[in-house]
Amino acid sequence: MLVAEVGMTLPVAMGWRHLLFASWPVAPAVVDARLPDGLEPDTYDGRAWLSIVPYRNVAVRPRGAPARLGFGLPELNLRTYVRRDGESGVYFFSLDADGLLGVLAARLTHRLPYYNARIEMRLGSRQVSFASERRHPGATPVRFACRYEPVGEPFAPNPDSLAAFLTERYRYYTTGRRGELRSADLVHEPWSLRPATVALETNTLFEANGFDAPATSPVCYYSPGVDVVSSRNRPR
């Protein structure tokens, strides 16, 4: 058996910190055209959504290993929201991370579309500055830079709210080497969110993934983060 095939069954523990969820509504057909067979766009009030999520991964390690043995890396992803057989989840169009070993491990173990990037993430007293430039050999160039900060009181999203639709997702889908649909389940505490503002300075993520840049302003939420356990990645 190939090492990559063994690795694909590896459950992972990690922490996600200082997240921005910046989300734009789009027509469902826009998303549907980019999804693999077996997935359909999930919608809220008739609209599909594209979200850009910058944050920092901390203590990434095999499940059961001590947190002190994990590694950290900042990350940036472009994602949408999907359904399969009535179950909701997330589908990632791309994930950029600063750490070659972490990128290679994620590609091998979970078949996720990770790309190596140079990322600088700085935490101020309130504001987070985030800048990413993709450096992955042969990949479409991507540049992204923004500043974001929470501006309201913490809240737990109502289950029927847009905030819950955009954040409370406990499964992700991806495709395997032969194009088969795969997924993994995520376990973590419910999100604590705050309204947020974002100043977008540079953003080529949409164009790099075949989308037109949205003309509207994003809906934004901030979270200090959660600790996460991911199941094995398996066929669906």
pLDDT one-digit tens code per residue, 152-193: 999 999 999 999 999 999 999 988 878 889 999 999 999 999
> Contact, 102 vs 115, CB < 8 A?
no
Instruction: Check residue 54 and give its pLDDT.
Output: 98
pTM recorded for the entire structure: 0.93
Tell me which residue has tokens 């398996």: 234
pLDDT one-digit tens code per residue, 13-22: 999 999 999 9
Q: Pick from 22-26, 72-76, 103-107 the range whose average pLDDT is largest.
A: 22-26
Per the structure block, which two tokens stand in for 55? 């944050």
Domain ranges of the chain: 3-225
Helices (H) and strands (E) in the chain, counts: 5, 13
Cα(225)–Cα(121) distance, rounded to whole angstroms? 15
Assess whether pLDDT exceeds 50 at residue 1. no
Of 158, 203, 187, residue with least CA distance to 12? 187
Assess whether pLDDT exceeds 70 at residue 223. yes
pLDDT one-digit tens code per residue, 51-82: 999 999 999 888 999 999 988 899 999 999 99
Helix (H, G, I), strand (E, B) or coil at 6: helix
Enter the CATH code of domain 3-225: 2.40.400.10
Instruction: Check residue 110 and give its pLDDT.
Output: 64
More confident residue, 9 or 12: 12
pLDDT one-digit tens code per residue, 34-48: 999 999 999 999 999
pLDDT one-digit tens code per residue, 107-164: 666 678 899 999 999 999 999 999 999 999 999 999 999 999 999 999 999 999 999 9
Phi, psi (5° rounding) for residue 123?
Answer: -105, 120
Instruction: Check residue 155 and give its pLDDT.
Output: 98
Assess whether pLDDT exceeds 70 at residue 5. no
First to last CA, the chain: 20
What percent of the chain has pLDDT above 70?
93
Burial 132-167 (b: 16+ CB within 10 A, else e): bbbbbeeeeebebbbbbbbeeeeeebeeeebbbbbb
> Contact, 181 vs 189, CB < 8 A?
no
Cα(173)–Cα(130) distance, rounded to whole angstroms? 26
